[in-house]
Structure 1
Amino acid sequence: MNRLASIEGTATPLPIENLDTDQIMPKQFLRIIDKAGLSDGLLYDLRFDTNGAPRADCVLDRPAYRGSTILLGGANFGCGSSREHAVWGLQQFGFQAVIAPSFAEIFYSNAMNNRLLLVQLERESIDELLRDAWEHPATTLRIDIEEQTVTTPDGRSYPFPLGARHKRMVMEGMDTIDLTFTSLADIEAFERRHVERHPWAAVM
């Protein structure tokens, strides 16, 4: 997988607090046996009315925000159930990153394991980015993963925290299994030492 050093694109404002995974990906879209078609279910009740007709006031379907690669969310984004489909749906819809004041813990792990970058900023910083996104929908943001900054076209820069393990996983396209295999030589050496010291524990 190609190395991902940065993400650049327009941002869609969706400042809903406590947006849970049941809302992000409703249960009726969990019946599939693979990941295909989840973009249709993303935030379905927000995008469509009870008759299945598109809601004209839904920001996700406004022409000005189509093709957006960054989502600006509210605090505690991705709370609720642990369904990984929420992450897959966001990615299939075209989002490569979500910027929010905070994220639910399980959602955070699911996202990073699937290379959906989650950026946590102070609320004041996100309020500024939201204002820009509402007033100037075509404005692009640049997320530098290596430097851990979000930069606006006028030069404002917002640093964000990112652990070394998750940073490596996102940049190199690794999941937890891939990450474990990078330590395979150390794991095998430990196994050899363990068997030498405790031969009765060796698997026959």
Structure 2
Amino acid sequence: MEKFEKLTAIAAPMPLINIDTDMIIPKQFLKTIKRSGLGVSAFHEMRYNLDGSDNPDFVLNKDAYRGANILVAGDNFGCGSSREHAPWALLDFGIRCVISTSFADIFYNNCFKNGILPVVVTEDQLQLLMKDAEKGSNARMVVDLENQQIETSDGEVIAFDLDQHRKHCLINGLDDIGLSMEKIASVDAFEAQMAQSAPWV
């Protein structure tokens, strides 16, 4: 998993509330178990017209936001079904950070397992960040995980709280397998001890 330390990037404003996982990646694209290739289908129903052409009104189709790596979104982001394909699709599109006032629990947890930082802010802070994101590609935000703060293009700083274990995992690029591998010396020592004390096991 790619490490997340400090991200300086374009932020796309997506003020809709209750953006669910079916909106992020519709059910017809869930046939794969690969984490790559889903970015092209992210936000499919909002992003494309019925004939397959780009919907020019959708924020991520606008020239200023095609390279966005941050989403500033409305309340209850990631609600709906528990599909892990939702963070896979966001990450494959290039989104490394989602900022909102709240997230659905399963989506929130899945973000950390896939290298995406979900940041919870207050409503007032969200509105400030939303206005900053609306400036387009000339305005870049800085998301500093080490210091747990977001800096707007105008230099305003917003601090955010985060569980320290999750912070450790993101900064070091550790998914569940990576966490297990951190303990490999202890596992090897335990297995060696068991082989001596209980060789029949």
Give TM-score, length-normalised by structure 2: 0.89
C-alpha deviation, 1:136, in angstroms: 4.5
What is aligned with 1:151? 151
Deviation at 1:202, TM superposition (A): 8.0
- The aligned counterpart of 2:178 is 178
Aligned to 2:164: 164
Matches of 1:45 and 1:65, distance apart in 2: 18
Q: Please say if residues 64 and 136 of structure 2, whose CA atoms lie closer than 8 Å, have aligned partners that are also in contact.
A: no
What SS does structure 1 have at the residue aligned with 2:110?
Answer: helix
1:115-134 maps to which residues of 2 (within 5 A)?
115-134=115-134
93-102 vs 50-59, which deviates more? 50-59
Q: Give the aligned partner of residue 24 of structure 1.
A: 24
Distance in 2 (CA, whole Å) between partners of 1:50 and 1:36 is 24
Unaligned 5+ runs, structure 2: none
CA contact (8 A) 2:23 2:43 kept: yes
Deviation at 1:185, TM superposition (A): 4.5
Q: Secondary structure at the match of 1:51?
A: coil
**Structure 1 residues 75, 201: CA separation in 2 closer, same or farther (over 3 Å shift)?**
farther
Q: Distance in 1 between matches of 2:156 and 2:12?
A: 18
Distance in 2 of aligned mates of 1:194 and 1:156: 56
Q: Cα–Cα, structure 1 residues 203 and 73, in superposed 2: closer, same or farther, change >3 Å?
A: farther
Whole-Å Cα distance in 1 between the matches of residues 33 and 168 of structure 2? 29
Which SS does the other structure have where 1:174 is aligned? Answer: coil
- In the other structure, the counterpart of 2:139 is 139
Q: CA deviation at 1:190?
A: 6.9
Contact 2:132 2:152 (C-alpha < 8 Å) held by counterparts: no
Quote the residue 2:81 is aligned against. Answer: 81
State the identity as a percent.
38
| Aligned match of 1:71 | 71
Match of 1:12 in 2: 12
Task: Look up the SS of the partner of 1:9 in the other structure.
Answer: strand
Q: For the Cα contact (< 8 Å) 2:3–2:115, is it kept in 1?
A: no
Q: Which runs of no fewer than 5 residues in structure 1 stay unpaired? A: none
The aligned runs of 1:82-121 (5 Å cut-off) are: 82-121=82-121
Compared CA separation, residues 27 and 203, structure 1 to 2 (3 A): farther
> Could you say what the CA RMSD is over the residues aligned between the two structures, in angstroms?
2.3
Distance 2:11 2:163 in 1: 24
User: Secondary structure of 1:143's match?
Assistant: strand
CA shift for structure 1 position 23: 0.9
Letter in 1 for 2:37: G
Deviation at 1:184, TM superposition (A): 4.0
CA positional deviation for 1:80: 1.0
* Count of residue pairs brought into register by the alignment: 201
- Write the letter of the residue equivalent to 1:105: D
Q: Distance in 1 between matches of 2:26 and 2:52?
A: 14
Report the 3-state secondary structure (helix = DSSP H, G, I; strand = E; otherwise coil) of the residue aligned with 2:165: helix
CA distance in 2, matches of 1:43, 1:201: 55
1:45 is paired with a residue whose SS is helix
SS of the residue 2:124 aligns to: helix
**2 CA distance for matches of 1:67 and 1:48?**
17
